Amino acid sequence: MRAVIPAAGLATRFLPATKAVPKELLPVVDRPVLQYIVEEAASAGITDVLLITGRGKTSIVDHFDRQPYLESKLEDKGDAKRLEAVRHPSELVEIFTCRQHEPLGLGHAVGCAESHVGNEPFAVLLGDEFMDEGSPLLPSMLDLQARTGGIVLAFVEVAPEEVSRYGVAAVEPAEEGLRDLGEVVKVTKLIEKPSPDEAPSNLIVVGRYVLPGTVFEAIRRTKPGSGGEIQLTDAMGLMLDEGTPVYGIVYRGVRYDTGMPLGYLQAVVQLAAQRPDVGPAFRQWLAGFVASSDGAAGG
């Protein structure tokens, strides 16, 4: 199974940090965001990852390459722990890249994967969000796609006022026989970034998709939509209208969304607190900091 990670966006929500550094390389504790995503793919059995990159994003690829000079220096020093940390990203999956020449939208970016992916089903993982490794979703999504043959999405329930930043779905209960894979629902409608009045539910599409190869033909037929961009949601909506089965799994685990400063900070704090090395000292400091700043705010 192949995965495609679109990572060509301009990351305007994170400027100026992302003026010269791709947002996919911002660190969460000591690993870049994209490494968590590639680790999630590898844990689900994916062995081949195509990164869709853009201008100024070449350093993303370097992170997953070997670094012989640095490795030999660490080897000389006998620093086995850091040596393993430096090598690990290059051992996870086989990385391929392709450039999206212009940021024309998520649908267009996924369309760039056609010659690599061919006509097989594949996963799409957006480059700024990941699931907690203790509650993965991708394995069930891959299983659901193998059983239904269509499109499989991941949903998260949000407050109604948040829906207009996302793709939103109308759903109905799925067939009994599919429910062993989690909270599986059948999708009846998809809208990209609806106003709160137009939104058919508060189930938002999050950044994990399993798509059949027929999506490429649908992307080619998709006209620019929300924001003037070629939207993946619109291409999937076209397929839905034409009879492709579309299912989703409602995810109730922890999802880290690092595409915006607040979500990024939350991811850093949660993952730092869980780490066996820095976690205990960080938690102790954080508890003291929160107690003293609450006191300051109250006083």
- In angstroms, what is the minimal distance from the CB of 54 to ligand G1P? 14
Establish whether the linkage from the previous residue to 16 is cis, with ω within 30° of 0: yes
Nearer to ligand G1P, 40 or 192 (CB): 192
Q: Which of 93, 117, 124, 126 binds ligand G1P (CB under 6 A)?
A: 126
Question: Is 258 one of the binding residues for ligand G1P (CB under 6 A)?
Answer: no
Contact flags string 4-43 toward ligand G1P, x per CB under 6 A: ----------------------------------------
Using the rule CB under 6 A, give the single segment among 117-125, 143-151, 212-220, 230-238 that binds ligand G1P: 230-238
Question: Is 207 one of the binding residues for ligand G1P (CB under 6 A)?
Answer: yes
Buried b (16+ CB within 10 A) or exposed e, 209-222: bbbbebbbebbeeb
Distance CA 108, CA 222 (A): 9
Using the rule CB under 6 A, give the single segment among 17-25, 110-118, 200-208, 272-280 that binds ligand G1P: 200-208
- In angstroms, what is the minimal distance from the CB of 190 to ligand G1P? 8
Nearer to ligand G1P, 145 or 231 (CB): 231
Secondary structure (H, E, C), the chain: CEEEEECCCCCHHHCCCCCCCCHHHCEECCEEHHHHHHHHHHHCCCCEEEEEECCCCHHHHHHCCCCHHHHHHHHHHCCHHHHHHHHHHHHCCEEEEEECCCCCCHHHHHHCCHHHHCCCCEEEECCCEEECCCCCCHHHHHHHHHHHCCEEEEEEECCHHHHHHCEEEEEEECCHHHHHHCEEEEEEEEEECCCCCCCCCCEEEEEEEEECCCHHHHHHCCCCCHHHCCCHHHHHHHHHHCCCCEEEEECCCCEEECCCHHHHHHHHHHHHHHCCCCHHHHHHHHHHHHHHHHHHHHC
Question: Is 206 one of the binding residues for ligand G1P (CB under 6 A)?
Answer: yes
Residue nearest to ligand G1P (CB): 167
Question: Is 127 one of the binding residues for ligand G1P (CB under 6 A)?
Answer: no
Q: Which of 192, 202, 239, 240 binds ligand G1P (CB under 6 A)?
A: 192
Question: Is 246 one of the binding residues for ligand G1P (CB under 6 A)?
Answer: no
Question: Which residues within the stretch 37-66 sit at the binding site for ligand G1P (CB under 6 A)?
Answer: none
Nearer to ligand G1P, 11 or 74 (CB): 11
Q: Which of 202, 233, 244, 258 binds ligand G1P (CB under 6 A)?
A: 233
Using the rule CB under 6 A, give the single segment among 20-28, 57-65, 113-121, 205-213 that binds ligand G1P: 205-213
Nearer to ligand G1P, 166 or 247 (CB): 166
Tokens coding 220:
């080619």
Q: Please count the residues of this chain forming the interface with ligand G1P, following the rule CB under 6 A.
A: 13
The site for ligand G1P (CB under 6 A) is made up of 106, 126, 129, 166-167, 192, 204-207, 231-233
